[in-house]
């Protein structure tokens, strides 16, 4: 049984991770971590997650006996999470998005000591759709007349970064397919359009961020050609898909040596 600590445990995603982990016989929730000034400190994590009491109070101090940490929090808290994971020699599922380049570097350094899964989305369906987007791009990039790629993402009004990390990852993977051949033009990443922008060029990917209500997340990848269009769409109806994916990554990590891994690794997609 894996001893799991959930960082950001009082947040929307953290509560779902606690709830799903508590119902999974492969896990024992041993810590629910929040920052030292959080209003929910001392409350039972089970109650916050809508369950019966787990006898795990929300705390700011990390215990020593942890097998894996799942982090759904904010970028400003990530450095402390990385330090705590290394100190506890615990595997880490880093599900927080909007990280700086310096924080990505810190994750890479930490992965020399512990096993880490980082991905812009923990959803299994999202990661499968990313692989399909790569395949569609590879098949269409040389089509007569060209193919235009636009990425539309929708999230809840509370999301603080735009475009989403998931949208940017879709764009990164698609751009890599376009740029794979020697001499290929570099792809431009265009964020929204306004005013007299001129005709669309063939070597750009457009991003469009929509923020509405409590939308837990959806992404549409549009491949537009002359005379026909392909759209790949993946949408979450609630947050459990992200929590379940993070827990799948946590289970997978228990058998892995130190290193940096992605959800493609978790899913066995090379």
User: Which residues are part of a known binding site for (S)-2,3,4,5-tetrahydrodipicolinate?
Assistant: 156, 165-166
CA gap 18, 248 in Å, rounded: 14
CA gap 6, 115 in Å, rounded: 16
Place of tokens 């119902």: 23
User: Which residues are part of a known binding site for NAD(+)?
Assistant: 8-13, 34, 95-97, 119-122
CA gap 123, 32 in Å, rounded: 22
User: Which residues are part of a known binding site?
Assistant: 8-13, 34, 95-97, 119-122, 156, 165-166
Q: Quick one: which of 25, 34, 111 has its CA closest to 72?
A: 34
Name the 3-class secondary structure at 90: coil
Q: Are 58 and 40 in contact (CB under 8 A)?
A: yes
Q: Which residues are catalytic?
A: 155, 159
CA gap 63, 127 in Å, rounded: 32
């Amino acid at each position: 049984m894996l001893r799991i600590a959930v960082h950001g445990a009082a947040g929307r995603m953290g509560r779902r991770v606690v709830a799903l982990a508590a119902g999974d016989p492969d896990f024992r929730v041993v810590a629910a971590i929040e920052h030292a000034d959080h209003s929910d400190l001392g409350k039972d994590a089970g109650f916050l997650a809508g369950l019966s009491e787990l006898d795990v109070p929300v705390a700011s101090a990390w215990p020593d006996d942890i097998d894996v940490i799942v982090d759904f929090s904010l970028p400003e808290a990530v450095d402390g999470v990385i330090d705590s994971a290394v100190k506890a020699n615990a595997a880490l599922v880093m599900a927080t998005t909007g990280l700086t380049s310096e924080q990505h570097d810190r994750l890479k350094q930490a992965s020399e000591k512990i096993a880490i899964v980082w991905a812009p989305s923990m959803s299994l369906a999202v990661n499968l759709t990313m692989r399909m987007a790569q395949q569609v791009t590879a098949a269409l990039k040389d089509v007569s007349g060209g193919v235009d790629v636009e990425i539309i993402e929708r999230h809840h009004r509370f999301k603080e970064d735009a475009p989403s990390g998931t949208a940017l990852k879709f764009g990164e993977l698609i751009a890599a397919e376009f740029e794979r051949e020697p001499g290929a033009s570099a792809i431009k990443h265009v964020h929204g359009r306004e005013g007299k922008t001129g005709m669309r060029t063939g070597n750009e990917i457009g991003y469009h961020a929509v923020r509405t209500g409590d939308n837990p997340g959806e992404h549409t990848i549009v491949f537009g050609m002359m005379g026909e269009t392909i759209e790949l769409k993946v949408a979450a109806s609630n947050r459990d898909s992200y929590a379940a994916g993070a827990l799948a990554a946590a289970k997978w990590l228990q058998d892995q040596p130190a290193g940096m891994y992605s959800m493609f690794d978790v899913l066995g997609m090379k």
